[in-house]
Structure 1
Amino acid sequence: MKQNRVTAIVLAAGQGKRMETSVAKQFLTLDNKPVIYYSLKAFEESSVDEIILVTGREQIDYCMEHILKPYQINKVSRVIEGGKERYESVYHVLKDIKQTDYVLIHDGARPFIATNLIEMLIEKVKEFKACILGTPVKETIKQVNEDDYITATPDRNTLWAAQTPQVFSYEAIKKAYDLFYADEEMNKKAITDDAMVYEKYMKLPVKMVMGSYHNLKLTTPEDLIIAETLLHNI
């Protein structure tokens, strides 16, 4: 029986302006290790066949010498330069991949992704072809207009907060991105995750899979404080 090949794409090219630091958030330290180390380690210990790390041009050598080698992240097949926008980085990698069956796309600023969740997604995608992690929202959500007046209160029972990894059949997500890039009328900056591209251009459903409230994305300085606490209590 043919073994499916699984590739993890870890995105670490963002500048993270809301973190208000001179160092990109994925290279800040948690317990004396770079933030990006933790998600790379989770994929290293999973059954994925290879990891492709996407970062800024000026961080490529740093990642190779100060993260991959000392922490023995051996499944990283290459470190490549990302684009200005997240979607550009993803498409650049999808075009660069020579052969794989499934791809997991993960934000490097989510250091607490657990290996068991990665394994669950790998199994789920074989059945559903497109899956993402998420968690039901806890708060009441308000929709507002440009003047900050409330226009709607969506049913909280139908709302989930999307997380990563997001995992897809490689052929399907590559085709979706090809169509996305060919669509000259699309406001590409309105795309905030890969599931949006898949939903719009493949016209196929994406399966939501229960993630973890610990799978925090580091965005603001307050998130670092929470992350330090989580690191010592998970």
Structure 2
Amino acid sequence: MNYTVMMPAAGSGQRMGAGYNKLFLKLDDKPILIHTLDVFEGDPACEGIILAVKSDEREYIQALLEEFAIRKVTALVDGGGERQDSVAACMKVYDKDGIVLVHDAARPFIRLSVIAELVKVANEHGAAIAGVRAKDTMKYAKEGVVEQTVDRGKLWVIQTPQAFRYALLKRSSEEAQAQGFLGTDESMLVERFGQPVHIVESTYDNVKMTTQEDLLFGEILLRRRQEDFNDSHRTRF
């Protein structure tokens, strides 16, 4: 089933310490943003990508799209001060009624198999989000003092993409805006709307490039992918 991606890309890179948009930092001589876009560019089920950007970065991003032959970006919209505002701006230029994905532009290692499952589950149930099971012991603490140990068997670390029937996401977003509610992700808005949100198990390498350590991990993932590709190529021929 086909889908459209809405991708906030108007970050600052403050935690990365880059001094500019972290999406322009390079992994293996290619910007993080392009690595992420490449995933969807290569997925036949992706109908289009809507990017929310800073107005003063629009020209540079457009040049990157041309340089790296990214053809599926259908619109560049002005991003807002918050992620929720950027996604709302993307929705304003979406003119269909299908399945939409919201994805962090700084997550270049999402797998197509996870995307396909998210689209399938969202189509069936309305909302689906990517996540991985918590691996560490989790504590609930107040003011630095542990109050209880939480059952990690029921805890998930949530990632993106998050997939929705468009009408559901639109209603949830509009209601949140009308009430002045700011959520940390789109599924939070849908949860407030009373809609069950299903979790699709993702992979631990679907990391968000946030710190310098993440960049180092990203370089390792890229090398591993290239090695896997070379191995499969040799096996085939």
Select which of 15, 20, 24 maps to 1:18: 15
How far apart, CA to CA, are the structure 2 residues paired with 1:174 and 1:26?
27
Match of 1:68 in 2: 65
Q: CA deviation at 1:6?
A: 2.1
Q: CA deviation at 1:92?
A: 1.4
Q: What root-mean-square deviation, in Å, do the aligned CA atoms of Structure 1 and Structure 2 show?
A: 1.3
Q: Where does the alignment leave 5 or more consecutive residues of structure 2 unmatched?
A: 226-237
Q: Where does the alignment leave 5 or more consecutive residues of structure 1 unmatched?
A: none
Select which of 28, 51, 55 maps to 2:53: 55
Match of 1:40 in 2: 37
Letter in 2 for 1:215: N
Q: TM-score, normalised by structure 2?
A: 0.91
How far apart, CA to CA, are the structure 2 residues paired with 1:10 and 1:177?
15
Select which of 70, 75, 78 maps to 2:75: 78
SS in 2 for 1:162: strand
Q: CA deviation at 1:5?
A: 5.4
Match of 1:183 in 2: 179
Select which of 219, 222, 227 maps to 1:228: 219
The 5-angstrom pairing of residues 116-127 of structure 1 reads 116-127=113-124
Letter in 1 for 2:176: F
Q: CA deviation at 1:62?
A: 0.7
Q: How many residues align?
A: 224
**In the alignment, is the contact (CA less than 8 A) between 1:42 and 1:113 conserved in 2?**
yes
Match of 1:210 in 2: 201
Letter in 1 for 2:88: Y
Q: CA deviation at 1:138?
A: 0.6
SS in 1 for 2:103: strand
Match of 2:190 in 1: 198
After superposition, the C-alpha distances for 1:46-101 in whole angstroms (9 at most, x for unaligned) are 11111111111111111111x21121111110111100111110111112212231
Select which of 143, 164, 168 maps to 1:172: 168
SS in 2 for 1:180: helix
Select which of 135, 140, 165 maps to 2:132: 135
SS in 1 for 2:71: coil
How far apart, CA to CA, are the structure 2 residues paired with 1:117 and 1:230?
17
Q: Percent identity?
A: 36
Q: CA deviation at 1:40?
A: 0.6
Select which of 86, 89, 97 maps to 1:100: 97
